[in-house]
Chain A
Amino acid sequence: MAQTDAHALHPPTSTGLNTWKLGFWVFLSSETLFFGSFIATYMVYKSASVVGPFPTEILDIPLTSISTFVLLMSSLAVVVGLDGIQKGKRKQALAGLFTTVLLGALFLGFQAYEFTHFYHAGLTLQTNLFGSSFFILTGFHGAHVSIGIIWLFILFMDILRGPMVPEKHALQVEVAGLYWHFVDIVWIVIFTLIYLLA
């Protein structure tokens, strides 16, 4: 697709910002309200359970600190990858994207482990309000992480299989990266509120 042709024929935007990027920022502001409502629900219900297990009995802060660190590093990796594309360094770009996908998958692995562990410890979606609001909040976050992994993996394969087109791929990775950072920031809020303030 002749991306450059299309740009030449499109009138410049009113703000000078790329329309794709602006639209995505707007979408992310909508997502803020989505997660904000789930987080608020969690905060209201976290000490409302009438039966155990309660947060303090079950949450494993050291383990989750590691998985949080893994996710934070993935944000760094996507920046490295984007930098590679912008500078035309294909290897750096591929390494950055692949690391992001890998770290993201590792984070999901931690989450899967945590969920199974909780399940065996007697905490399910149905056990009590803590379980319900914990699983629904972190579950929707995990779903967002999964979408990000698939998205970045597709972009990775695209660059791996064909020539890297910096103008095109830089924008694509930047937008996917915005999403990835957003999901990361949401996790920091979740980690602070659920785990550290438990």
Chain B
Amino acid sequence: MATIEAHAPAHAHAGPARPTGIRDWLSTVDHKKIGLLYGVTALFFFLVGGIEALLIRIQLAKPENAFINPDLYNQIFTMHGTTMVFLVGMPIAVAMFNYFVPLQIGARDVAFPRLNALSYWIFLFGAIFMNMSFLFGAAPNGGWFGYANLSSTQYSPGLNMDFWGLGLQILGVASIMGGVNFITTIINMRAPGMRMMRVPLFSWMALVTSFLMITALPVLAVALFLMTFDRFWGTRFFDVAAGGDPVIWQHLFWMFGHPEVYILILPAFGIVSEIIPTNSRKPLFGYAVMVYSGVLIGIIGWGVWAHHMFATGMGPIADAFFTISTMIIAIPTGVKIFNWVATMWGGKIRFNTAMLYAVGMVATFTIGGISGVMHATSPHNLQQTDTYFVVAHFHYVLVGGLILAIFGSFYHWFPKITGRMMDERLGKANFWIYFIGFNLTFMPMHWIGLLGMPRRIFTYGSDLNLAGLNQLATAGAFIQAIGVILLVVNIVKSAKRGVKAGPNPWGAATLEWATESPPREYNFAKIPTVHSREPLWVEAEQIERDARGEPEPMHMPPNSYWPLFTAVGVTLTCVLFMAPSWWEPLIGLAWTFIGVVNWAYEPT
């Protein structure tokens, strides 16, 4: 058992020494290392998804272009959507949760450290499996929403949609386990005195997001099971000739898919709610209301799925219900936006790069929210659906919302993770180039869509007068790419040669800033007791002494290879469903079983 003795330095363990180098990374159960693994992996797939986006934009730069053939185009736009949602948006938020939630709430690790490692490995293998499809020339090609009957064997023969169905099934397992872990951590492992109404907004939004993950992803799992059974074993759930109903797919998919939107955006709300008060040097305005509105968004987010289906023909009553329920979400969201503005009001604002990103996020997200209300109006929706207007809307929400916030969080928290500051001059260039590129890409799409250009179609006629706006969008996409390259350059350069940061370079208020940068393996020498919402502004002396002083006796779990082993089993089981006979998946199940049993009997 790896027990840290009283007054011993961090690396002195009574038990076996921790492995070093690559073996440590393969067997680590430390939430900060797992957070880094998640972050680096997600950033890698962000580049992959970005390249896919550039290919789409090159193809659409001029009418009747023959750069990419229609079949490959289907694969690329499907994989762009799938990658950005499942391999970038969710894991990059989970990376931030992993690193900062335990630090913010005053815990030594998450509730289930080995489960946390398992989530990561399953996510990684799922991501690799999904992208392996390119090597077979069979990347998913039925859209990231996998609509029945487009995704049936009749219209999607070949392995393409099998890769999609099984890959998402694997990724879903990782997300559910992650959600269970974060909920338990936040509810049960807060520092003494940290009541729920003192938990930092970022951790609060992590909690709401986790609830959405554990409730939305099982529904996706069921939808995917129905689809894979249709494809593999000849059931006919979505076959109209057998009495099946393709609309059931849409209900199940969007019952997952709509909460998913909030799984992606709530972490961004959390991040912005940390950056704005810190750099306005004022407590967050209306903390309690910010918490309640976040919870409310999570709840209402569940009741509005069918606004993705106005064009399916559900009838006027259902349309009216989902129009109204969708519009209601604008209220708690509007509350948040006004509270961010009110937080800045009268503050001593410092416009560092993180703050630029946060303010940029509030502005662009508002635009995305307004075009969202436009869609929610069902008569409008019938005109706009499946056009580039929709593409413009959700990119304003997901790129202008989530990605800007995530980039801001890199600048905000980089000093904590690496102990070094990011280059502010490069950072501001990075922000402005990315921000301008982003608006140049997606703003014209509103008009492209209103002029009637459908999405998902590989080209358009030269007589439609759409070339100019499309070229603008393509130029914007390349400017964005330059912004991303600058960001990566800044990360690599600053990690090596950035100015030393110290524990709290921004003068922030939350607990993670009480630790050294980077934090020790066990986070806090002694778990601090908190008495306020802004501990480092109100009671810094005591908290910092606890966080950085002499370590108290404690128990930290040892490294383990069983998460990695078990993740191989889970992935193998899913992959072997593609094998010809029924018994092959049993190999994967047996492998998983061995992993789980050894896991259960391993000392922790």
Question: Could you tell me which A residues sit within 8 Å of B by CB distance?
Answer: 1-2, 5-6, 9-11, 13-15, 17, 19, 22-23, 26-27, 29-31, 33-34, 37-38, 41, 44-45, 48-50, 125-126, 128-129, 132-133, 136, 140, 150, 154
The answer to whether A27 and B180 touch (CB under 8 A), given A13-B188, A37-B219, A132-B237, is yes
Contact for B214 among A6, A22, A26, CB less than 8 A: A26
B residues less than 8 Å from A29 (CB atoms): 214-215
Asked if B226 and A136 make an inter-chain contact with CB atoms under 8 angstroms apart, the answer reads: yes
The answer to whether A44 and B218 touch (CB under 8 A), given A26-B184, A125-B234, A132-B235, is no
Residue of chain B at shortest CB distance from A18? B188
Q: Does B455 contact A (CB under 8 A)?
A: no
Q: Does B51 contact A (CB under 8 A)?
A: no
Asked if B555 and A9 make an inter-chain contact with CB atoms under 8 angstroms apart, the answer reads: yes
Which of A5, A26, A45, A129 lies at the interface centre, i.e. has the most chain B CB atoms within 10 A of its CB? A26
Asked if A14 and B188 make an inter-chain contact with CB atoms under 8 angstroms apart, the answer reads: yes
Expressed in whole angstroms, the Cα–Cα distance for A41 and B188 within the complex equals 35
Expressed in whole angstroms, the Cα–Cα distance for A154 and B219 within the complex equals 30
B residues less than 8 Å from A44 (CB atoms): 245, 248
Q: Which 10 A-B pairs have the closest CB atoms?
A: A37-B222, A34-B218, A30-B214, A132-B235, A23-B184, A48-B243, A9-B555, A33-B218, A14-B190, A126-B234
Expressed in whole angstroms, the Cα–Cα distance for A22 and B256 within the complex equals 24
Q: Does B124 contact A (CB under 8 A)?
A: no
The answer to whether A19 and B237 touch (CB under 8 A), given A9-B3, A30-B214, is no
Residue of chain B at shortest CB distance from A154? B597
Asked if A2 and B184 make an inter-chain contact with CB atoms under 8 angstroms apart, the answer reads: no
Interface size classification for chain B:
35 or more
| 0/1 interface trace, chain B 205-229, chain A, CB 8 Å (1 if under) | 0000000001111110111011001
- 9 pairs, CB–CB < 8 Å, chain A vs chain B: A13-B188, A17-B188, A23-B184, A26-B180, A26-B184, A29-B214, A33-B219, A34-B219, A37-B222
Asked if B553 and A136 make an inter-chain contact with CB atoms under 8 angstroms apart, the answer reads: no
Residue of chain A at shortest CB distance from B181? A23
Expressed in whole angstroms, the Cα–Cα distance for A115 and B248 within the complex equals 26
The main secondary structure of chain A at its interface with chain B is helix
Residue of chain A at shortest CB distance from B217? A30
- Contacts A6-B604, A15-B187 supplied; 16 other A-B pairs, CB < 8 Å: A9-B555, A19-B111, A22-B111, A22-B187, A23-B180, A26-B183, A41-B222, A41-B226, A44-B245, A48-B243, A125-B234, A126-B236, A129-B244, A136-B229, A150-B593, A154-B600
Expressed in whole angstroms, the Cα–Cα distance for A126 and B553 within the complex equals 61
Question: Could you tell me which B residues sit within 8 Å of A by CB distance?
Answer: 1, 3, 111-112, 176, 179-181, 183-184, 187-190, 192, 194, 214-219, 221-223, 225-226, 229, 233-237, 241-245, 248, 252, 255, 527, 553-555, 593, 597, 600, 603-604
Asked if A136 and B225 make an inter-chain contact with CB atoms under 8 angstroms apart, the answer reads: yes
Contact for B188 among A15, A45, A133, CB less than 8 A: A15
A residues less than 8 Å from B189 (CB atoms): 13-14, 19
Residue of chain A at shortest CB distance from B214? A30
Asked if A9 and B554 make an inter-chain contact with CB atoms under 8 angstroms apart, the answer reads: yes
Expressed in whole angstroms, the Cα–Cα distance for A30 and B218 within the complex equals 7
Residue of chain A at shortest CB distance from B193? A14
Residue of chain B at shortest CB distance from A9? B555
CB distance from B215 to the nearest CB of A (A): 5
CB distance from B217 to the nearest CB of A (A): 8
Contact for A34 among B194, B222, B597, CB less than 8 A: B222
A residues less than 8 Å from B112 (CB atoms): 19, 23
